[in-house]
Structure 1
């Protein structure tokens, strides 16, 4: 999506709560990557429509997307995983400050390890949001899939990664391997026998995968 079009979409959004604006400003000041406003607004709409009882998030950062998803459906409960200790602690602080600790559980640790633990504990979820290390998306998906209920949704952010996924000939060398993995991930999603996937060019690219069986 062009920057001009994305900016237009952001300008059309309704006024946000003060805590949202403050958290966005903090993320920008601390250089913490979070979804842009158009992207998170789209994810929130998916949450409103699907009304998931349980959400699993891979990649908490400072708690922004977990809090926004809960805002979209206050009846949800969310489990979210973050491996960076400083960001984990920031997320805990913010969630406690907003009195959402009874609805959002933040787990500290590597997502690959924690996803396996959650699966062994027989956890199930209605919606899974993947927004962590881009090069590991396929492994995250493979570990998350058994925990997703039938008719559930997996949302993957950044699947177009700055447009490089569609223009691999222009990828800076430092991103080549990651972009190659994202291209393979997108291909896997689109051809998965148990899922129907749409990739939407909003924000940095959002894939919505619906589990049919």
Structure 2
């Protein structure tokens, strides 16, 4: 059975990511994320960290009614994401914003999202969460990828490469904070590279 144009596009994107060392979600992780999103069925989703647009397009394909705003600060990756999205059948439902998510004025965004997917600078998750959780509708869900960082988060800190220790400490602190957050029910799922799922009470 011949592959569809969408499947061919995703294959091209995976090849580009591998060749140019662009981190995109592992297949198991994105498969689990898509299942969770299909159960939730959000209509408006905000993604922090577009990279080349792979996860945004996978989400748009899996959820035909969703509209996605996705933010990318790297100008080269932003341009590549635009190119890939314009080749897709989902381009009218995915808006890419070229900005640093920590500096963007949130008044420029939709005032309410059903879901937020955080997959940007790993050491800044707490700052992303604090800035954007006000845009999440009650009962909405924030999904945070890379909560294991290839197992490093659960290693003794002296075994973690020195240049990554600050990031790992920040992820640990964020996980601990979310474990007892009064406004969210959170669950850390051992899928992909660790997916934290936080539902707003």
Instruction: Determine if the TM-score, normalized by the shorter chain, exceeds 0.5.
Output: yes
CA distance in 1, matches of 2:108, 2:69: 15
2:65 counterpart of 1:45: no
1:113 Cα offset (Å): 1.6
TM-score normalized by the length of structure 2? 0.93
Mapped contact 2:61–2:90 kept (Cα < 8 A) = no
More divergent stretch after superposition (90-99 vs 52-61): 90-99
Q: Deviations over 1:144-185 (max 9, x none)?
A: 110000110000000111111111331110111000000000
Residue in structure 2 matching 1:139, options 121, 127, 146: 127
Instruction: Call closer, same or farther: CA 1:121–1:199 in 2, change over 3 Å.
Output: closer
CA distance in 2, matches of 1:141, 1:17: 32
Runs of 4+ in 1 over 6 A off after TM superposition: none
Aligned length, in residue pairs: 195
Mapped contact 1:119–1:147 kept (Cα < 8 A) = no
Matches within 5 A, 1:197-208: 197-208=186-197
Instruction: Call closer, same or farther: CA 1:41–1:58 in 2, change over 3 Å.
Output: same
TM-score normalized by the length of structure 1? 0.88
Matches within 5 A, 1:100-179: 100-114=90-104, 117-119=105-107, 123-169=111-157, 170-179=159-168
CA distance in 2, matches of 1:144, 1:119: 11
CA RMSD of aligned residues (A): 1.3
Specify the alignment match of 2:65 in structure 1: 75
CA distance in 1, matches of 2:164, 2:190: 20
Unaligned stretches of 5+ residues in structure 1:
1-15
Q: Counterpart of 1:113 in 2: which secondary structure?
A: coil
Specify the alignment match of 1:5 in structure 2: none
Unaligned stretches of 5+ residues in structure 2:
1-5
Q: Deviations over 1:58-91 (max 9, x none)?
A: 0000000000111110100000000000100000
Q: Counterpart of 1:46 in 2: which secondary structure?
A: helix
Q: Deviations over 1:77-110 (max 9, x none)?
A: 0000000001000000110111322100000010
